[in-house]
Amino acid sequence: MEEEGWVVAGAGKKSWKRRKGKQGAGCRGAKRRPCVPKQEEISWDPAVLDAPVEEGGVRALISRTKDAVALVRQSKIFGHLKREIFLAEDGGEEDTLVRNLGEVEELVVYGLGSLENGPPACRYQFALAVLLAEEIRKKSSKFGQVLFFDPAFTAYDRRAIESESSEFRVLRENENCARRTSKKTLFYMPHCEACLYDSLLKANWTRSQLPNLVILGNSFASYKSIWGVSSEHKPDPPAYVELVAAAESSQEVPVPDFNFTEVSAFNNMSFHFFPSASVAHMMVR
pLDDT tens string 101-124: 778 999 999 999 999 999 999 999
What value does the mean pLDDT of the chain take?
Answer: 81
Most confident stretch, 1-5, 12-16, 237-241: 237-241
Total-model pTM: 0.83
- Residue 81's alpha-carbon distances to 93, 138, 262, in angstroms, are 14, 14, 18
Q: H or E stretch including 130? A: helix 120-139
pLDDT at position 3 over 80: no
Rounded Cα gap, residues 21 and 15, in angstroms: 14
Cα–Cα nearest to 218, from 207, 226, 210: 226
Whole-angstrom CA distances from 103 to 94, 100, 110 are: 14, 5, 20
Largest CA distance in the chain: 56
Residues 40-49 have pLDDT tens digits of 456 789 999 9
Give the pLDDT mean for 239-263: 87
Helix (H, G, I), strand (E, B) or coil at 61: helix
Domain boundaries, the chain: 54-279
CB atoms within 10 A of CB 3: 9
Q: Give the residues across from 187 on adjacent strands.
A: 108, 215
Assigned architecture for domain 54-279: 3-Layer(aba) Sandwich (3.40)
pLDDT at 26: 34
